[in-house]
Amino acid sequence: MAVLTAQGAWAQNNADAAVLEMRDAYRRNNTTQLTALMPRVRGHALEPLAQYWDARARLETATPSDVRRSLDRMAGTYWEDRLRNDWLLHLGRQRDWATFSAELPKFRMNDDRQVQCYGLMLDAVERRSPPEQVAEQVQRLWLGQRDADDGCSTAARALLDSGHLKPSAAWQRARLAMETNRPRAAAQAVALLDPDWVGTVNAIAADPAKYLDEKITAIRPRTKELVTLAIIKLAEKDPAAAAQEMERTRWRAQLTQEERSWLWGVIGKRSAQKLQPDALSHFGNGQPRFMHTDHLAWKTRAGLRAGNWTAVRDAIAAMPEHQQREPVWVYWRARSLQVLKEPDAIAAQAQARELLESIASPRGFYEQLALEDLGRLITVPPAPPPLTAQEVEAAERNPGLQRALAAIRLGLRSEGVREWNYTTNLHTPGGLGERELLAAARLACQNELWDRCINTSVRTPQAQDHAQRFPMPHQGAVVRRATEIGLDPAYVYGLIRQESRFITDARSHVGASGLMQVMPATASWTARKIGLTGFQPHHINERDTNIAIGTAYLKLALDDFEGSMPLAAAAYNAGPSRPRAWRNGPVLPAEIWAENIPFEETRDYVKLVLANTTNYAAILTGQPQSLRARLGTVGPRGNPTTINRELP
């Protein structure tokens, strides 16, 4: 028996090694080695992944029969659907519409915008759907694409040619691309209307002021949108110059109300992101109904910062219904009602209370604020009924979850995470049910895959299991270290949950490492500051060293920002110099200050860390907690000479 066990272990290890060798061969596009290694992974849990690598490397030259045989060998797995997604994109680029149409109904995920656009275009061509309806769907998908693509631009070209998609859709695509500094996408959109304009678009992206200076004579109707693109690009760097440009008589006379309103929305947004006091006046020059949803969001933020609740109310009222339903705008709409007392104090209070009740929950930042505004503190919700043995067993026997676990154990985290997400979210239409998700989250927790545990559990809006959503691994080390240096352990846990989801070897795209995602230079500086002798850069991946350095830096940031948790969290994410600048201006409730943080990543980060902290405090203390007490107010530093200039 011992010999057989040893042989079995050797065989499994040999297959594991073959899987990793195939991963490396796939990265090198070595199809010969992929074929040679395939027999060694037969019967391995990750055989479908290996088959995907082998088939994907040959996709460009494979026949439809070859691809279908590969798909059959992976039937029912994420990797079958992943290969079909890749193949559908290839078929679309090759304009092989017959094969594309045959394969599209088998694509279970159906979450690729380019594939969706190809499919919608064929629906219109073959009259399976009304072309007008298809055009509306393609426009929505196309505007949602960040970069230049083939799928949605091809569909857009077809619908523009047929007259079912209006040229204004292409210009809107170009505007959004120029506003987000994606000139290739802007040029691609404009090229669908006139390829001769591409050079002009590129020139605008390079030097918008020069283009505008050269447009001395009256502009022709067909080039008005090019002027619009130039002012959008100019506003990116210098909103004041863009505002001055808009005051020129020729633009006021020749641009339409829609064009002027969009441009004032862009200028207002850029001014608001720079925390400039004239942002609201810029927004006031345009009509909200012509502004983009992002412009309206920033108009609301500018109104909050200025204390102009009428502007807050009006900006939210101009948002489309789906945007108004987001908790952030539900909350601020309720607050505007309370302040303005319209149509009267009693009616306003009743309507505000109804709005707050609709979002009140421990779940997130504005949900917690809504709870407190209703007079209730944040507590740990009752745990859902225990899982049954059958529910637990179903998760443990789920082949997709087992493949995900096997991949992550082998060091193929990215592949394992994709398999896990597919199994829980996409394999079954609509995703797994709440009880199934709780069972899957339990499986992840048991295997200390804390990121999958958290991310799976938060998808159960009714059954809130805080033991899954807010786990506390390494509790002894975290609480001990936080207590030693005078940090709230809940604050540390709230930050770690957001930084790494408790993945000890996590590494970001910018090089931050470990549980607390510390940058190498920051780690070295902090190690010297706290007298950590013998520190080497690779030590940051050690759990206790990472916690020691991360908590020390957080405490130094907290002290430098006079105990303000929101400011210290912003400094941890974006560096201390930025929140030092962002705090200048009026003294604001921290929830208003946080909502006006210019960087979306940092804005969301601060709110999530503080909401996490409040939930962890409720768990650790067993007592009701207040988010608002942790927020306080934010304003200019009382004594500028106390700034810790060394803090990196």
Instruction: Spot the catalytic one: 225, 259, 499, 595.
Output: 499
Per the CB < 8 A criterion, the answer to whether 193 and 170 are in contact is yes
ω into residue 343 within 30 of 0, thus cis?
yes
CA contacts within 13 A on the Cβ side of 133: 7
The answer to whether 285 touches 262, Cβ cutoff 8 Å, is no
Q: What is the largest CA-CA distance in the chain?
A: 92
d(CA 227, CA 235): 12
Helix axes 413-421, 78-94, angle to 10 degrees: 90
Q: Can you say whether residue 482 is alpha, beta or left, with left for phi > 0 and alpha for psi between -120 and 50 degrees?
A: alpha
C-alpha span between 574 and 571 (Å, rounded): 5
Pairing of strands 633-634, 588-589: antiparallel
Alpha-carbon distances, residue 298 vs 172, 282, 517 (angstroms): 19, 12, 30
Distance of alpha carbon 435 from alpha carbon 243, whole angstroms? 54
> Residue 267 — φ and ψ, nearest 5°?
-65, -45
CB atoms within 10 A of CB 508: 11
Q: CB of 99 within 8 A of CB of 64?
A: yes
Query: To which residue do tokens 């007592």 refer?
Result: 623
211 and 204 Cβ atoms separated by less than 8 Å: yes
Q: Kindly state the DSSP code that residue 219 receives in the 8-state scheme.
A: P
- Paired tokens of 3: 């010999």
Is 499 designated active site? yes
Distances (CA, A) of 474 to 504, 515, 553, 632, 633: 10, 10, 19, 30, 32
Closest CA to 26 of 46, 44, 53, 52: 53
Give catalytic residue positions: 499
